[in-house]
Amino acid sequence: MAYTTIDDPSAYFQTLLYTGNATGRSLDNTGNSNLQPDWIWTKKRTNDAQNHCVTDSTRGVANILFPDNADVESATQLVTEFRTNGFGINTNALINDNTDTYVAWQWKANGGTRTTFTESGNNPAGGYQANTTAGFSIVDYVGTGAAGTIAHGLGAVPDFVVVKGRNIGAHWRVYHGSNTDAPETESFKLNADNATADYDGTWNDTAPTSSVFTVGADDNTNEDGKNYIAYCFAPIQGYSKFGTYTGNGNADGTFIYTGFKPAWVMSKESGAAGGWYIHDTTRDPGNGSIKQLKADTNEVEYDTGSDTSRDILSNGFKQRYGGGSQNGDGDTHIYLAFAENPFVTSTGIPATAR
């Protein structure tokens, strides 16, 4: 039996819910471990449609990007500080409108400390901050306009890479290691519901390795002189998993084994148009995850009610919606998931028995 290397996932990933009060303040995480985040992804849940927003400790608190659109980086400051167990926010309605509710998903990298690399031939210059224990790195680089490699610092092959141009109106390009038989030839757009597309300019038809990922001449990932940010994830036993499942179009839907109880799941239909659906166990602590957000749209949170979308189980998740973009009969879906609890701890003890 395989054991996890991470007994407490809350040391590396947490979801925080809060209600806005239009007053600058500090927010504290509530997990078993303190978490100083390096990547914060926030979304307004109620009242009116607002963009998803991401801030990270590489670009700094004064810069935000919007996962649901292709806009350039904005100098609007939402997060005021990365704290030892949370973060500070200002009064902007995107993150702190009075009486509205918000969600913040947070990942830990390396506290903002980067390892830099220089341009070499067509290989871009930049830097990475990596957390090899959690399999997560934040990479910044300057495009060269020609195929080149970029160090990610994970020491393992990433299964999920998303790249966004900071000073160029460009799509969020997504690599998923289980997408088709040749994922290095394909890419998705996080900010759109498009099906996977074969385009060699994105990853230069080259799979990532344990040290680098490759970009081609696509402006969305490598325009000469433009600044980019990449978020890279490698799978960690009992903490994160990136895979596919095939829908069955039935309310007694497909079960997807992850080896842990997921805290957060995002899925996307691969071969056809369909949104990037996000579920988490903080917004839905009981079984039957019915509150969903979509990364590719600024829509408010949708409550599926009796049409429960998925069950979150001790060792994976199970589809409960009889069709659509999350469980269409015979349709392939990619997913990424992060743990609330490992199914089996590093000592071989089931998490439920701790």
Quick one: pLDDT at residue 351? 65
* DSSP character string of 187-249: EEETTS-PPPEE-HHHHTT----SSEEEE-S-HHHH-TT-EEEEEEE--BTTTEEEEEEE--S
Separation of alpha carbons 191 and 189, rounded Å = 5
Separation of alpha carbons 140 and 86, rounded Å = 23
Kindly report the number of other CB atoms within 10 A of residue 317's CB atom.
25
Task: State yes or no: pLDDT of 258 exceeds 80.
Answer: yes
pLDDT per position as a tens digit, 205-244:
999 999 999 999 999 999 999 999 999 999 999 999 999 9
How sure is the predictor about 325, in pLDDT bands with cuts at 50, 70 and 90? confident
Domain boundaries, the chain: 9-107, 115-233, 240-353
Range with the lowest mean pLDDT among 65-74, 273-282, 315-324? 315-324
Quick one: pLDDT at residue 201? 95
Quick one: pLDDT at residue 303? 86
Scored b (16 or more CB within 10 A) or e, 342-353 reads: bbbbeeeeebee
pLDDT per position as a tens digit, 99-152:
999 999 999 999 999 999 999 999 999 999 999 999 999 999 999 999 999 999
Quick one: pLDDT at residue 288? 80
Task: Please tell me the pTM assigned to this model.
Answer: 0.96
Task: State yes or no: pLDDT of 1 exceeds 70.
Answer: no
Task: State yes or no: pLDDT of 204 exceeds 60.
Answer: yes
Q: What percent of the chain has pLDDT over 90?
A: 88
Separation of alpha carbons 109 and 12, rounded Å = 8
Average pLDDT over residues 41-61: 97
Residue that the structure tokens 């039996």 belong to: 1
Average pLDDT score, the chain: 94
pLDDT per position as a tens digit, 166-186:
999 999 999 999 999 999 999
Residue that the structure tokens 């980019």 belong to: 228
Task: State yes or no: pLDDT of 354 exceeds 50.
Answer: no
Separation of alpha carbons 79 and 108, rounded Å = 16
> The tokens of 85 are what?
């167990």
Residues 6+ apart with CB under 8 A from 343: 238, 259, 260, 261, 314, 315, 350, 351
Coil, helix or strand at residue 35:
coil
